[in-house]
Amino acid sequence: MTVDSPQPAVQRLPGRPRADSPVPGARARVLTTAGRLFYDEGVRVVGVDRLIAESSVTKATFYKHFGAKDTLVLEYLAARHDLEAAELTSLSDAHGGGRATLEAYLEIVVARLLTVSFRGSAFANAASEFSDPTHPVRLAIEEHREWLRYEMVSLFKAAGHPMPGDAADDLVLALDGAQVGAYAGDAIAAAAALRRSAGRLLEA
C-alpha cells in the first residue's frame, strides 16, 4: 500500500509570472515560440539561435530575460504545469471534487489524446532528454508528477475510494501509458484503454 505524500510545493523561478498572467513584448514571444518548438520537436534539437530568429528578438534580449537555454526550459515546463493546475482547479470548482471531477478530468485528457497536434506528455518528453536525475529540469518534472499524484489522491479520497493512494498511483501510470500509446501508436485504442482502466478504479 502506498503512503500518501504531502502536497509538493511546485517551485517557480524568482519573478516568473503565472501562465495566466499577461507577459508583454519580447519575453512573451520567446516563451510562445519555445512552448511550440519544444513540444513539437524536442528540447535538445531546438537551439538558441533558432529560438531567437523565430521569436524576432535579439540575442542580447534573449539572454537578458533568460540567461541560458536551461532557464527557458524550466520556464516552459513551469508554464505547462500552471496551465494543468489551473485546468484541474477549474474542474474541481465546477464539479465539486471527487468522482465527478475525476470523470471530467479524464474526458479532457481523452480529448487531448485524440487531437492531431498531440505529441505525448511534455514532461515525459523532456525527461527523456535529460538523463541526469539531479538536473533542475528533472527536479521540476518530479515536482510536477508529485503534484499530479497528490491531486489524484485527494480526488479519490473525496470519491470515497478505500485505497486512494494506490488508486492514484494506478491512474498516473495509466495516464503515462495512454499518452505514450496515443502518440506512438493508436490514439483511439489508447484512449479506450485509459477509459477502461479509470472506470475500474472508480468502481472500486
- Residue 82's domain comprises 69-203
How many domains are contained in the chain? Answer: 2
Dihedral (Cα; 23, 26, 32, 36), 10-degree rounding: -170
Q: What pLDDT score was predicted for residue 204?
A: 78
Question: Across the chain, how many H-helices and E-strands are there?
Answer: 9, 0
In this structure, is residue 88 part of a structural domain?
A: yes
Q: Are residues 142 and 47 in the same domain?
A: no
Buried residues in 40-75 as b, exposed as e (16+ CB within 10 A) = eeebeebeeeebbebbebeeebbeebbeebeebbbb
Distance of CA 92 to the CA centre of its chain: 17
- Mean pLDDT value across the chain: 91
Cα angle at 189 between 187 and 193, to 5 degrees? 115
In this structure, is residue 17 part of a structural domain?
A: no
Residues making up the chain, counted from first to last: 204
Q: Are residues 152 and 169 in the same domain?
A: yes
Percentage of the chain surpassing pLDDT 90? 87
pLDDT at 14 over 80: no
pLDDT, tens digit (0-9, with 9 covering 90-100), for 117-175: 999 999 999 999 999 999 999 999 999 999 999 999 999 999 999 999 999 999 999 99
**pTM of the complete model:** 0.86
Q: In the numeric block, which cell numbers belong to residue 7? A: 502536497
Q: What does DSSP assign to residue 128?
A: T
Q: In the numeric block, which cell numbers belong to residue 141? A: 518534472
Confidence of residue 198 (pLDDT cuts 50, 70, 90): very high
CATH code of the domain covering residue 41: 1.10.10.60
Q: What pLDDT score was predicted for residue 15?
A: 41
In this structure, is residue 120 part of a structural domain?
A: yes
Dihedral (Cα; 67, 51, 80, 165), 10-degree rounding: -80
Q: What pLDDT score was predicted for residue 49?
A: 97
